[in-house]
Amino acid sequence: MVAAIRFGPAGIPIQCEGSSSREGVECCARLGLSAMELEFVQGVRMKDDSAREICLAAKERDVSLSSHAPYFVNLCTPDKVKLAASRRHILESARVTALAGGGITVFHPGFYLKLSPNEAFDAARRALLDIVSELETRNIKIRLGAETVGKRSAFGGLDENIRLSQDLGKTVVPAIDFAHLHARGDFRIRGEDDYRAIFGLLERELGDYVRSFHCHFSEINYSEKGELNHFPLGTNNEPPFRPFMKVLAESGYSGTVICETPKLDIDALTLMREYESAMGRKGAR
């Protein structure tokens, strides 16, 4: 059976002996995982030659790649120098990821600072329009995933990212971080119905996106301001992973689940097994 959902770690598996992304891809395949996110969070340092090598390794082993752009991105900033740097970080992540055969670059949209939510939206939209047109000019074919953020001070709630996607066309899509939705309070996720509500909203607003969604999963520690730190699966069950896997198995949706817990690949395998057993239960009915 070909699984409709791909699972993989955010970065090189902790069970991997090597430290290169290519070895990470090979290790994912050995473990039975079929996705991996390249972490450019401290800067894009991958050479073009390595990206081409990773592309071959990933194609050969059917591991689908994505990337996470640097953390220091703020598309809402009025500071022209910071905005230009943010634009560069996203474009460079996208370029190298496309060279590695990856399908999506995830980024954190920005911060409100002194802006109202509408002003922040307009600023992010303007910056993304420019980035999307630059991708087209340079013929870089990749999706940009606006990650749902975990802090209340950050721009990029689920509604905001859905609106960005509706406004900008299919190059920009939301990247759903369930732990962030839970911690920020966009959606407190307690069980199956909450996952169904989120996917229902995505399907209503963005149609086909649920056939190729991209998401991050982790359990999370948070305060009233939002996220604090990620937890391994089974720590506080917030948000709970079993109902998520059940909803995915029953829904017919397809996409990629990147595990962002401190146990990366180990927890990605737990998610995958839970999903497979939910698929088995579904098949047995």
Contact residues toward Zn ion (CB under 5 A) are 147
Q: Which is nearer to Zn ion, 147 or 274 (CB)?
A: 147
Amino acid at 179: A
Amino acid at 232: P
Q: Which is nearer to Zn ion, 147 or 227 (CB)?
A: 147
Q: Which is nearer to Zn ion, 26 or 238 (CB)?
A: 238
Smallest separation (angstroms) from Zn ion to the CB of 108: 6
Give which of 25, 32, 27, 26 is closest to 6, Cα–Cα.
32
Smallest separation (angstroms) from Zn ion to the CB of 149: 8
Smallest separation (angstroms) from Zn ion to the CB of 1: 31
Smallest separation (angstroms) from Zn ion to the CB of 68: 6
CA pair distance 55, 72, nearest whole angstrom: 26
Is residue 1 exposed (0-12), middle (13-18) or buried (19+ Cβ within 10 Å)?
exposed
CA pair distance 78, 142, nearest whole angstrom: 27
Are the C-beta atoms of residues 270 and 6 closer than 8 Å to each other? Answer: no
Q: Which is nearer to Zn ion, 26 or 147 (CB)?
A: 147
| Alpha-helix residue ranges (DSSP H) falling in the chain | 21-31, 48-61, 80-99, 117-137, 158-168, 178-184, 192-206, 241-251, 264-284
Smallest separation (angstroms) from Zn ion to the CB of 107: 8
What residue number has its CB nearest to Zn ion? 147
DSSP 148: P
Q: Which is nearer to Zn ion, 99 or 215 (CB)?
A: 215
